Chain A
Amino acid sequence: MSRRYDSRTTIFSPEGRLYQVEYAMEAIGNAGSAIGILSKDGVVLVGEKKVTSKLLQTSTSTEKMYKIDDHVACAVAGIMSDANILINTARVQAQRYTYAYQEPMPVEQLVQSLCDTKQGYTQFGGLRPFGVSFLFAGWDKNYGFQLYMSDPSGNYSGWKAAAIGANNQAAQSMLKQDYKNDITREEAVQLALKVLSKTMDSTSLTSEKLELAEVFLTPSGNVKYQVCSPDSLSKLLVKFGVTQPATEAS
């Protein structure tokens, strides 16, 4: 009965819903999950890689995590091609701000500006919304470490811990139970890996199926975005008891 209100993004249904936006969120619900956790000394992003094939040409580049600027990074869930467009837009917006004001763009402003772009596709132009949700992790000198989640409607909010993609509701409730306000970065990594391992569909967790990135301050006071190497990630998985080490029999 709602079919006649589906086809155009720019009209409301009688119940006051935007069906295209909701369908976009459905698409994301089938994509690989990502979790972000805010800690006192950094933000942790963990993502599940959906495409793992021996034939895939692995390079140093990542599938779920992207750097937007030196002080902001994001994790992605949804249609990758849509994500690439938005990531490029975010990168250019961050550089434009830096060019104009000669300082890094505040994280919330960057998120807001990208969300304004996403919102445009829900109100005019007749184009479909982007089928991507983001988790933005960053640091600025006004508000320190921050984590934001945004969705295809262009809505965003700040979170202490958030999950997007497949099984995000289960992950979110697990995070609600186990998150503590004064969690450290190491504990956050552990929590993120634990929650992801419980909500992921696959039976065994290896470092090939995951990506881990952190945004933190170096001892010299600069913001750093670092992606964990597959070897360190394997060691972490064993250390936190999330996966069986290779030598043990199950």
Chain B
Amino acid sequence: MSIFEYNGSALVAMVGKNCFAMASDRRLGVQLQTIATDFQRISKIHDRVFLGLSGLATDAQTLYQRLVFRHKLYQLREERDMKPETFANLVSALLYEKRFGPYFCQPVIAGLGDEDKPFICTMDSIGAKELAKDFVVAGTASESLYGACESMFKEDMEPEELFETVSQALLSSVDRDCLSGWGGHVYVVTPTEVKERILKGRMD
């Protein structure tokens, strides 16, 4: 089994009309055994930038802690929050630093940039960025997620419809993947509020 599939994960981020949604599964496993059913994969960097980390959980935690370190110092020195594009570049740089002994993570970054324009991107474990206008996926369920998102995605969805779409895409994809699942965690972010919702899916 590959090291990326050790803990199991599913992450998806989608762009809507002046908003974005990021969803993850909630399972944390050790190969085939499920250890936790409330694992948080998505973290808030600040009110307008969210980071999801799939892959090996220990590397995801350490990478997140390093990013908090860097972002806090940025906030203190620049006296403002980091833009999502800048944050994505920071993540990419941190990952490439470990080019020959990488973090076994695939990050998904989503945020609202200037003029509330939604920004999403993903990258591989050594920092190759993939910017997309519609959706990005990561994790053990990524292949199913690609298919589900491609068929369900529509441009310029309002937050409520975006929530439905991203939830359906996530739940149907993790059902086809034995290593991810046990519900879902969805964040829908608009310029005015952040809505966090828990989904109940097939609990297996």
Q: Which residues of A are at the interface with B, using a C-beta cutoff of 8 A?
A: 60-61, 67-69, 88, 91-92, 95-96, 98-99, 102
Contact = CB atoms under 8 A, between A and B. Distances in A.
B74 to A, nearest CB: 11
Given A60-B79, A61-B79, A99 B73 contact: no
A91 B65 CA distance: 16
Contacts, number: 23
Contacts of A60: 79
B65 A95 contact: no
Consensus secondary structure, chain B interface:
helix
Taking each of A61, A68, A98, A99, which has the highest tally of chain B beta carbons within 10 Å of its own beta carbon?
Answer: A99
Contact of A102 (B65, B73, B76, B77): B65
Given A91-B77, A95-B69, 15 more contacts: A60-B79, A67-B76, A68-B76, A69-B72, A69-B76, A91-B73, A91-B76, A95-B73, A96-B69, A98-B69, A98-B72, A99-B66, A99-B68, A99-B69, A102-B65
B73 A92 contact: yes
Interface residues on B, range: under 10
23 contacts: A60-B79, A61-B79, A67-B76, A68-B76, A69-B72, A69-B76, A88-B77, A91-B73, A91-B76, A91-B77, A92-B73, A95-B69, A95-B72, A95-B73, A96-B69, A98-B68, A98-B69, A98-B72, A99-B65, A99-B66, A99-B68, A99-B69, A102-B65
Contacts of B73: 91-92, 95
Question: Which 8 pairs, one residue from A and one from B, show the smallest C-beta to C-beta distance?
Answer: A95-B69, A99-B69, A91-B76, A95-B72, A99-B65, A95-B73, A61-B79, A91-B73
Nearest to A70: B72
Nearest to A67: B76
Highest count of chain B CB atoms <10 Å: which of A68, A69, A95, A96: A95
Interface string B43-77: 00000000000000000000001101100110011
Contacts of A91: 73, 76-77
Nearest to B65: A99
**Which one of B66, B68, B69 has the highest number of Cβ atoms from chain A below 10 Å of its Cβ?**
B69
